[in-house]
Amino acid sequence: MSTISSYLTAEHREADVLFSYAEQAIADGDWMQAETWFQRFTAATLNHFEKEETVVFPAFEQATGNSSGPTRMMRIEHEEIRGMFDRVSNAIVIHDVEGSLGLAETLLIVIQQHNIKEEQVLYPMTDRLFGGQHDGMVLQMRQLQSAG
Partner 1 sequence: MNGAHTSLALEQAPPISVPFRFFLAAPVFLLAAGGLMLANGPELLASRWHPATLALVHLLTLGFLATSMAGALMQMLPVVAGAPIAFPRTVAGLVHLPLMAGTLWLARGLDRADAHDIRLAMAALTLACGVLLLACGHSLLHSPVRHATVRAMRLALLALTATAGIGIALAAVRVGMLNLALLPWTSLHAQWGLIGWVGVLVMGVSWQVIPMFQLTPAYPAAVTRWFGGVIYAALTLDSATPWLASAPAAWITTGTHGVLVTCLASYALVTLRLQAARRRKLPDVSLQFWRIGMASLLAAALLWLAGQVTSIGDDPRYPIALGMLYLAGFAISVVNGMLYKIVPFLVWFHLQSHPARRNTAPGMKLVIADSDSRRQLRLHTIALLLLFASLGWPVLAHVAGFTFVLSAGWLWWNLLQATRMYIRLAAGSPG
Q: Which residues bind partner 1 (CB under 8 A)?
A: 16-17, 19-20, 23-24, 27, 73, 76, 79-80, 83, 87, 91, 98-106, 108-109, 112-113, 116, 120-121
Select 37 or 141, whichever has its Cβ closest to partner 1.
37
- Round to whole Å and give the CA distance between 111 and 88: 14
The CB-of-1 to partner 1 minimum distance in angstroms stands at 21
The CB-of-24 to partner 1 minimum distance in angstroms stands at 6
Select 30 or 135, whichever has its Cβ closest to partner 1.
30
Report angle CA 66, 6, 105 to the nearest 5 degrees: 85
End-to-end CA distance of the chain: 23
Residue 1 CA: distances (Å) to CA of 9, 23, 39, 54, 133: 14, 33, 30, 21, 11
The CB-of-73 to partner 1 minimum distance in angstroms stands at 7
Select 64 or 99, whichever has its Cβ closest to partner 1.
99
Nearest in space to 97 (alpha carbons), one of 10, 26, 30, 15 = 26
Do 100 and 24 contact (CB within 8 A), yes or no?
A: no
The CB-of-63 to partner 1 minimum distance in angstroms stands at 18
Q: How many CA atoms lie within 13 A of 19 on its CB side?
A: 22
Select 79 or 135, whichever has its Cβ closest to partner 1.
79
Select 83 or 148, whichever has its Cβ closest to partner 1.
83
The CB-of-17 to partner 1 minimum distance in angstroms stands at 6
